[in-house]
Amino acid sequence: MDKTDKIFVAGHKGMVGSAIVRKLQVYGYTTIVCRSSKELDLRNQQQVLDFFADEKPDYVFLAAAKVGGIIANSTYPAAFLYDNLMIQSNVLHAAYLHQVKKLMLLGSSCIYPKFCPQPMKEEHLLTGVLEPTNEPYAIAKIAGIKLCDSYRSHYGCNFISVMPTSIYGPNDNYDLQNSHVLPSLLRKFMAARDKKESSVVIWGSGTPKREFMHADDLADALVFLMQTYNEPGVINIGIGDDISIFDLAKLVKKVVGYEGDIILDPSKPDGTPRKLMDITKLGSMGWKAKISLEEGIRLSYEEVKEKQWAEMG
């Protein structure tokens, strides 16, 4: 990418999209195009086609998606499948029609099988059944990966697919019904501390392990890959280490300063037992994450405390 190329960041108000915009600005890219969902409904094909005809972006970061945790995926499966399929199909086809130089599709580690060998390698895709609690989102993202590869082989489009691990950071979603595990834990422990509650209940057995990456690290990796990576299939993005949900809860408890007990509720679903990314491919290209988990949680805690906690109540 040249510094003056027109770059469309789809989903710029979300956690990942906003991190991409910040990183591009830091690196000196001057022509970043963004549209809110109210200004441009990516599920609407005609709106997307009109946008690409008018703006003619050179590069596209497709970070727009309908996302959420176990509760949201289980409650709204049709929306997770339909919305994500439509967003990807419309943007990829418009990018092909208007000769975008390069497009990056962002997926998620949930595309891999529920009982995937650990750490998860790129070649493990489609080798087993998916985790039922996020299957609609995973199916949509797998379709997006195959769509990128199909446009590449059929039309010669430079469309790439990247699969980040679990992400957290600025502009995360802290809604208790729709958020992922780390922001949900932050909010739970802050609320319990402020209300002087004696305990916090954590869903599941606490034994599943997850890998967490700060959004600013992810954005750095995405810009790096947009500049250097041009292959079909997928490439994993992560830190190469994971932590159990129970140990994560203890770490959040420590950062927040909560002094009560942690109670596990094994009657609630655990989700996938483990989701650790094999990042050998990315590491061989010379990129490595910089922000530790505890440092990242402290950064998130400070953000919530200063900007959002008053509104959450």
Q: What are the binding residues for NADP(+)? A: 11-17, 106-109, 141, 180
Residue stretches of the annotated binding site = 11-17, 106-109, 141, 180, 188, 203, 210, 270
Cα separation, 234 vs 162, whole angstroms? 5
Cα separation, 165 vs 108, whole angstroms? 6
Say what the alpha-carbon torsion angle 15, 16, 20, 23 is, to the nearest 10 degrees: 60
Strand partners, 264: 202
Q: Which residues are part of the catalytic machinery?
A: 137
Integer distance in angstroms from the first to the last C-alpha of the chain?
43
Peptide bond into 119 cis (omega under 30): yes
Q: How many CA atoms lie within 13 A of 44 on its CB side?
A: 9
* Residue corresponding to tokens 């609407």: 44
Query: Among candidates 155, 184, 153, 157, which has minimal Cα distance to 168?
Result: 184
H-run or E-run covering 154: helix 135-155
Grouping H, G, I as helix, E, B as strand and the rest as coil, residue 118 is coil
DSSP E strands: which ranges in the chain? 6-10, 31-33, 59-62, 102-106, 159-164, 166-168, 199-203, 209-210, 212-214, 234-237, 243-244, 261-265, 274-275
